Structures are given as C-alpha cells and as structure tokens.
Amino acid sequence: MDFAIALNPTSAHPLHRQLAEELRRIILTGRLLPGERLPSTRSLAQSLSISRTTVTQSYDQLLGEGYLETRHGSGTFVCSQLPDDLLQAKPVDTIAASSASAIQLSPYGIHLAETPFALLPEPQTEINFRYGRPALKHFPVNLWRKLLMRHCRQDRQWLDYAKDSQGYYPLRVAIAQYLARARAVACSPEQIVLTNGTQQALDLVLRILLQPGETIAIEDPGYLSARRVFLSHRANLLPIPVDHSGLRVDQLICETTPIRCVYVTPSHQFPTGAILSLPRRLELLKWAQQTGTLILEDDYDSEYRYGDRPIPALQGLDNSDSVLYIGTFSKVLFPALRIGYLVLPPSLVPLVAYGKWLSDRQLPTLEQRVLTDFITEGHLESHIRKMRSHYDCCRQGLVQALQTHFGDGVTIVGEQAGIHLMVRFSTPLDEAEIIQKAASVGVGLISARPQYLQATSMNEFVLGYGELEEDAIATGIARLAQVLGCKPS
Ligand SMILES: Cc1ncc(COP(=O)(O)O)c(C=O)c1O
C-alpha cells in the first residue's frame, strides 16, 4: 500500500509528529477505512526513507489517541470503532483539503492546512472518564433562566452593539472583586479584558506579543489546545519537564535559548495535576523579572482545591508586570458560556482590547449581564462551594476505588485539585489494549499521551470525574480492574 505523504525534514516539527498528523488526516478523509490494515513499520519506513523508530513513534501516538489498534501477531489496523464525531468530520476535512489546494493561503492558512484540525477522540461509553467537563447536570439552569428573563424584560439595550471592547464594565468589576477574594489576584476592572474563553485569550495575546520563530516555554506534558495556538503563531516550542511540584523551574532557568514567554498552569498542572510550589513560584517570578520574560498563567480550575489552603495566583505575587493571568468560567459554570478573562499589565490593555474588537467585536451582552448578577448576588460562590464538596466526594470515591481494586498496580497523581486526576497502570498491556478492554465493559478512558511533546508517557490516563456520580465511578473502576486482570496487593 502506497501513501502520498509529504514530510518536511527541515521543519521544527519532529518527523514522527508530522507523520502521525498525515496518517490521522488519511484516516479522517476516509482514504484508510476502519478495520483496514496499515503497512508494517519496516515497509512504511522504507517507502518514506525515514527511520523505523520514527514510524513506530507515530503509530504509538495514534494508538494512544484511539485512531489505531493492534491485533496480536497480525499488525496495526485503523480502529474499527472510530468515534462518531470523527467520522462526521470527514466531509469538512475533505472540502478543506481540496479547497486548500486551489486557493492561495496566507502563512497562517498554510499552517492550518498542514496541521489539519481534529478533536481528540473521546470515548462513547456508558461510564465515561473523559476530562474537561464539569457536572452539567448540577448547574442551576432555573436560576440562570430567571436571570436571563429579568434582563430580557428590563430594557432593549442588550440588543445593541456594546461600546466597550474590554467587556461589560459591571462584569469586570464583579470579576476583579471575586479574583481578589478567591485567588489573591491584585487588579482593577480596568486591567481586565473579557474573552471568548481561555482559547481566545491565548490567541489574542500571542497576536500582540509574539514574532514568528520566538520561543515559548511550555510544560511537558501540557495543555494540547494551548500548544495548538502557539504553533499557529509559528512559535518555537521549548518543552520543560514537570514533576510532583509542577514546572521544573530550575531547568527553565538554565536554558540558553532566549525565551519570549512561559505558559504555565500553576494551580493544577494540566494534565499531571501537580501544584506549583511556592518556592518555585517565587523563583519563576524572579527569573521572569530579571530576564524580561512574560508568564502566561492559565488558572483554569483553581476553584477546586481539596485539603490545603490555596496558594495565591502568580499574578498576585508579581510586582513587575511579568504575569498575564487567564481565567475562565468553563469549569466553574459551563463551557458553552464562552466567557473568560485576561488580567493584563495596564500598558497592554488598549492593544488587547483593540485586538478583541478586530477579532469579534464583543461578547454577547445578555450573557455578560446575567453572569454579573450571578456573581454579585452570591450564586457563583455558593455554586462553587456546593460543587467543591460534590467533586470532593467523587474524587475520594475514585481514589478509594482505584486503591481497593488495583493496590500497587496503579499510581495516582494530581488528585489534590481540579476535576480530573492522572493514573499510571502497571500492567504488561499497552495503552491501546487497556482502552479497548475498558471499552468492552462500557468504560471510557483517555490516554495522556497526546498532551506530551518530548517527555514520554507510559500507560498514563487522565481520568475526569466531573461528569460522573459516585456510584458510576465505583462501578467503572471495578469493571476496569476485572477486565485488566488486576488483583490488589
Ligand atoms: C489547561 C486548560 N486551560 C483552559 C481550559 C478551558 O478553556 P476554555 O476557557 O477555552 O473553555 C481547559 C479546558 O479543558 C484546560 O484544560
């Protein structure tokens, strides 16, 4: 079987990742169908004149992402159960690929065409440990509707264009006060620009701050969606390892490459869940100040911390305008709200607000008004308190079930905060086999592998518990242990 695969050996993007992206595109556009066999690593390596290790690494990545599966002794195949949403993506991808060849593209467009977009596959199982979702069924929809109706009836101002490209002022006041109380963030409402979630916040600041080819240091493993934004701005990525205390600031500091900015998730490192220790926070800030490096602090789910008192946000410890703080309501309320915020050094505010206006003019006014009431009337903090105790029960149930059923056969990390934790299973099975066996008993697992850039991941999974109730968690882990053949020690 011959594939027309173009790899660029001079690209900053490693060959194995380029190959994995090409193969993913071939699968998504239907040139390889579910159940079809892939060439052996040896023959594909020969036909592309690349090393066999490169091909093996690409296959491993796609196995981890659920695109491929291995059948003992007979090779590697396109996964026979690709999730529906991926299959539905096929026509769009085909259109994009064909029109990309006919219409001339900008460098940005070329980058997008070279790295076709696909959401990571998510399990479609009865008990789904997918991550990144809060407990939507506990969201107070009736209250939200009441607030919506109140504003719909009040006047018709919200139907008009907003005058303020930074976002609705009363909402910025409410957020500034909330951040001071909950996260020790020191800011005025004038320093806040409201954005369409973290995703747009990152995109906007990079448009304004980054020259193509400049270096962004990132956590490895780290948040894939942020990495995609950085690459779209043609950043040079510098992966910095992470340990149980978060980013290895010592390794960052001894780097000789000039670094434009560092992207960190200090309250709950994604995906390992490590919390950046106070000494490291201070060390990072000192270094940023001395070198003039900017810190992009993504504080995506800091509200959920169990046990210890929260460590203040980096922004609140900074006195040199080195930190750009990013927050979101995707985890504490619901992701489709699409409201997040940037807390910026004052000098950057007009530019970012202008960039926001150019990009999409404004956020919807009605939702901003409703959210303002939701915060100022105390509903946000009471919802957070309620959900913190709910998630804490789920988290304890998950940890206990893992310990009971797997004993020493599992390592649990990052369970002190957030709405997911990470596990490493010690088993002779590989990741794809674990995912398949879990799916066969209705349990959905997602590998941590796509979040890794250079560091290696072995049988690691990110277990989200935000959407699950305690009984489903207990049943899911019991089924998993049974099917993986684990006996507690
Ligand atoms: C590390 C991290 N940051 C931010 C977000 C939220 O992104 P957004 O605000 O664009 O929904 C997520 C969501 O999963 C995340 O994992």
* CB of residue 265 inside a 6 A radius of ligand 1: yes
- Answer whether residue 325 shows pLDDT above 90: yes
Confidence of residue 92 (pLDDT cuts 50, 70, 90): very low
* CB of residue 466 inside a 6 A radius of ligand 1: no
- Answer whether residue 116 shows pLDDT above 80: no
- Answer whether residue 47 shows pLDDT above 90: no
The pLDDT of residue 454 is 86
Confidence of residue 17 (pLDDT cuts 50, 70, 90): confident
The pLDDT of residue 2 is 66
- Answer whether residue 361 shows pLDDT above 50: yes
- Answer whether residue 129 shows pLDDT above 50: yes
Q: Whose Cα sits closest to atom 12 in ligand 1?
A: 300
Q: Give the predicted TM-score (pTM) of the model.
A: 0.82
* CB of residue 345 inside a 6 A radius of ligand 1: no
The pLDDT of residue 99 is 52
- What is the C-alpha to C-alpha distance for residues 396 and 403, in angstroms, rounded to an integer? 11
Mean pLDDT value across the chain: 91
The pLDDT of residue 1 is 65
Residue 298 Cα: closest atom of ligand 1: 3
- What is the C-alpha to C-alpha distance for residues 381 and 374, in angstroms, rounded to an integer? 9
116 versus 103: the higher-pLDDT residue is: 103
Buried b (16+ CB within 10 A) or exposed e, 125-146: bebbbbbbbbbeeebeeeebee
- Answer whether residue 371 shows pLDDT above 50: yes
| Mean pLDDT value across residues 353-362 | 97
pLDDT digits (tens, 9 = 90+) for 232-290: 999 999 999 999 999 999 999 999 999 999 999 999 999 999 999 999 999 999 999 99
The pLDDT of residue 35 is 81
The pLDDT of residue 90 is 46
- What is the C-alpha to C-alpha distance for residues 202 and 345, in angstroms, rounded to an integer? 15
Residue type, 373: D
62 versus 338: the higher-pLDDT residue is: 338
Pairing outcome for strands 446-447 and 460-464: antiparallel
Q: Whose Cα sits closest to atom 15 in ligand 1?
A: 300
For residue 116, the CA-to-ligand 1 centroid distance in Å is 20
Q: Whose Cα sits closest to atom 4 in ligand 1?
A: 300
- Best of 330, 337, 421, 451 for a ligand 1 pocket test (most atoms within 8 Å of beta carbon): 330
* CB of residue 29 inside a 6 A radius of ligand 1: no
Count of CB atoms situated within 10 Å of the CB of 71: 10
For residue 30, the CA-to-ligand 1 centroid distance in Å is 30
Confidence of residue 87 (pLDDT cuts 50, 70, 90): very low
- Answer whether residue 408 shows pLDDT above 70: yes
For residue 489, the CA-to-ligand 1 centroid distance in Å is 37
* CB of residue 298 inside a 6 A radius of ligand 1: yes
Distances (CA, A) of 5 to 23, 344, 478: 8, 43, 43
Confidence of residue 487 (pLDDT cuts 50, 70, 90): low
- In the chain, pLDDT over 90 holds for what percent of residues? 69
* CB of residue 272 inside a 6 A radius of ligand 1: no
- Answer whether residue 4 shows pLDDT above 90: no
For residue 119, the CA-to-ligand 1 centroid distance in Å is 14
For residue 155, the CA-to-ligand 1 centroid distance in Å is 33
* CB of residue 330 inside a 6 A radius of ligand 1: yes
- In the chain, pLDDT over 70 holds for what percent of residues? 94
**C-alpha neighbours within 13 Å on the C-beta side of residue 359:** 21
